[in-house]
Copies of this chain bind each other. A is one copy, B any other.
Amino acid sequence: MATLFLTRRDVRGLLDMRDVINAVEQALSDWATGKAIMPPKAYLVLDKGDIRAMPAAAAGGAGMKWANVHPGNRALGLPTVMAVLVYNDPATGYPLAIMDATEITAYRTGAASAIASKYLARRDARTLGLVGAGRQAYTQLQAHVELFAFESVRVFDISRAAVDRLIESFPGHPLQASAIEEAAASDIVCTLTTATRPVVKREWVVPGSHINAIGADAAGKQELDPAILRESIVVVDDLRQASGGGEINVPLREGLFRSEDVYGTLGEVIAGLKPGRTDDAAATVFDSTGVAVEDIATAELVYRRAAERGGFLSLDFVEE
């Protein structure tokens, strides 16, 4: 036996978005039906940030992502978030692989949004709006173009340079720099900011649109006018996480939204336990906080492909 070691560069070379979408879709469905499991995260709270352990078993694999959030890192030239994932054989606990999970996180987050759009957006969706053109925008776009043929992709960011970089990175796709109002008025909207106050106004949103609310990932963060939530079918990945730090966390605390108003989880919709969009006029919102079953299902893909391809660093790590 041996353990594979996969760096961030290795993992990037092994990831394929279409496969990640399929794996995450299956894992979320399995989780909703009890075939995948995810115990609560364990948080190590430190002076300048935190590190959280995210264990899960999904897709025939088991493992744990250990990811930090240190907001002050940017000033030190380090990423705010870095993640290591240990992937184990569930039958024996053997650590089959230890891999960087920064790319895995980005891919599975993009995949989850595209899956939400598949089940919740109008089938004839032709426009995509990206509110925020930072790192997350790349994998959101990459995932959506796997499942949708857009006539236009409207990109807004307070940094015009960020918009231009994104547009240059997707030649052949109909990207265009847009005002935030235009981006928000798309059939599918992804909000990808670090906002702590609503940036998307209710009056900008068009009837029948679907919004993937990605930015809110901690208590106090929010991107959408709470009126949008109140008038939409709101689907979460995990109700506990969403209530604590997802898009609904501030409106819940302020009494502008109730957890009973949440329609269900994306896994329940995928598994057919609850219907997805049934009405072309309805507005839908997916409140994405990121769940470990998505990470482990993606890691399973990475491990399997690395083992098939060979040539990666392999060590007798836990052997005597």
Residues of A in contact with B (beta carbons under 8 Å apart): 1, 5, 7-9, 37, 39-49, 51, 53, 55-57, 62, 64, 66, 68-70, 73, 76, 78-79, 81-84, 86, 88, 90-95, 98, 100, 102, 313, 315-320
Flag if A62 contacts B88 (CB, 8 Å).
no
Which of B40, B64, B102, B319 touches A8 (beta carbons < 8 Å)?
Answer: B319
Q: How far is the CA of A37 from the CA of B42 in the complex (A)?
A: 13
Q: Looking at the assembled complex, report how far the CB atom of A185 sits from the nearest CB atom of chain B, in whole angstroms.
A: 34
Residues on B with C-beta less than 8 A from A56 are 44
Which of the residues B40, B51, B88 comes within 8 Å of A93, measured between beta carbons? B51
Q: How far is the CA of A93 from the CA of B50 in the complex (A)?
A: 8
Q: Determine the distance from Cα of A43 to Cα of B79 in the docked complex, in whole angstroms.
A: 28
Q: Is the CB of B64 within 8 A of A93?
A: no
Asked whether B76 lies within 8 Å of A92 as measured between CB atoms, the reply is: yes
Distance in Å from the Cβ of A135 to the closest Cβ of chain B?
10
Query: A68 and B55: CB pair below 8 A?
Result: no
Tell me whether B82 and A46 are in contact (CB under 8 A). no
A39, B43: Cβ atoms under 8 Å?
yes
Q: Which of B44, B76, B84 contacts A95 (CB 8 A)?
A: B84
B51 touches A100 (CB 8 A): no
Given contacts A7-B316, A39-B43, A55-B44, contact A82 B64 (CB under 8 A): no
Docked complex Cα distance between A7 and B2 (Å): 11
Chain B residue at minimal CB-CB distance from A101: B318
- Say which residue of B68, B79, B98, B319 sits within 8 Å of A84 (CB atoms): B98
